[in-house]
Structure 1
Amino acid sequence: MLADLSPLIAATAQWLTCAYPSAGGARAATLCEVQARQAVTVAAWLRYPTPADAALVGIAGPGGSARLDWISGADHTLGHDPDAHAWRTWVDEVVASWAACLLTDPDLARLAVDALAEGSRDAGDPGRFRRLVAPDETDRRAAALLRHPDLLAPVSALHQDQLLDLLKPGQALTA
């Protein structure tokens, strides 16, 4: 059984960076990817807080990117080769939505990272999610589309209420 979320995290981060790419060259693309991966990691750990939760999503599958592709307008740019886009089956819509919320609201991102530290997942080194919670100007430029609240609004609105409910003070980290 799959007890870690790395395929889900990798696919969902890739979806975000494909849908909202960096336009600043290789260094900017890398910084954009790091920010997406940090946001998706936090969102995935909040969504699937225990090894049992991670194992269950590994068995059942996260659902894929079909609705996200439709919302972002990417559905008609995919082509007809299903093998070229098999990774999209590992995209988790809720995790992508929560990551979009975190990317567009640094205060919410800090609250989410703090919730991880209080929950069953150890956020580890406080600087581990620095590019998510305290992006500098280079990070912001590299991920201008990925952090743009208006552009991400359709994705973040999908499951934002669930994230806000989860992060209310006194809530246990259960999905």
Structure 2
Amino acid sequence: MHADLSPVIAATAQWLTRSFPASGGALASALCEVQARQAVTVAAWLRYPTAMDAALLGMAGPGGSARLDWVTGADAALDDDTDAHAWRTWVDEVVASWAAGLLTDPELAALAVAALADGSHSTGGHAEFRRLLAPDDRDREAAALLRHPDLLAPVAGLHRSQLLDRLNQGRTLIA
């Protein structure tokens, strides 16, 4: 039984970077991956705030990328070799949707990182999520597709209301 979220974080970040790849060479790919991983980590920690939540996810499984692939049109490009895409079963649709929202909305990302103080996962603070919260020009250029609000809107919109509910527990709803 898994008590950590690393398989879900890795698979979901990989799905995001394959669906919205970096523009540029190896450095751009690395910068894009770091931004995706930071957004997915924040989203996963919000979605599964306790070790028990993570353990239940490990038992039940996250659901896979099928709907996300359909929403982005990637399902038509997938081949029939299921072994080559076994990692896709560890993609969490809600985490991907929340991460997409964080990547395209800096205010939402800041609220999400601040909300981690209430959970048991966070070990640091804003510094560990710098590329998500305060991307520099090189980060933005590398992740132009990954941070493009229009491109990510179909994914971010899937579970945006749940993310807002999670961030607004006991507060006035943000839009």
Tell me, yes or no, whether TM beats 0.5: yes
Please give the per-residue CA displacement for 1:23-71, whole angstroms capped at 9, x wherever unaligned.
2110000000000000000000000000000000000000000000001
Residue number in structure 2 paired with 1:37: 37
Contact preservation (8 Å) 2:45, 2:119: no
Please give the per-residue CA displacement for 1:1-39, whole angstroms capped at 9, x wherever unaligned.
100000000000000000000121100000000000000
Residue number in structure 2 paired with 1:75: 75
Residue number in structure 1 paired with 2:60: 60
Q: TM-score w.r.t. structure 1 length? A: 0.95
Residue number in structure 2 paired with 1:103: 103
What is the CA–CA distance in structure 1 between the aligned matches of 2:123 and 2:160, rounded to whole Å? 22
Q: Secondary structure at the match of 1:23?
A: coil
Residue number in structure 2 paired with 1:15: 15
* Runs of 4+, deviation exceeding 6 Å: none
Which structure 2 segments of 5+ residues have no match? Answer: none
- 1:170 CA displacement: 2.9
Please give the per-residue CA displacement for 1:61-113, whole angstroms capped at 9, x wherever unaligned.
00000000001111011101000000000000000000000000111101000
Letter in 2 for 1:144: A
Residue number in structure 1 paired with 2:127: 127
Q: Secondary structure at the match of 2:158?
A: helix
- 1:122 CA displacement: 2.2
1:78-157 alignment, distance < 5 Å: 78-157=78-157
- 1:151 CA displacement: 0.1
Letter in 1 for 2:146: L
What is the CA–CA distance in structure 1 between the aligned matches of 2:124 and 2:153, rounded to whole Å? 30
Q: Secondary structure at the match of 2:157?
A: helix
Letter in 2 for 1:39: A
Q: Secondary structure at the match of 1:120?
A: coil
- 1:169 CA displacement: 5.5
Q: Secondary structure at the match of 1:30?
A: helix
Q: Percent identity?
A: 74
What is the CA–CA distance in structure 2 between the aligned matches of 1:158 and 1:65, rounded to whole Å? 13
Letter in 2 for 1:148: H
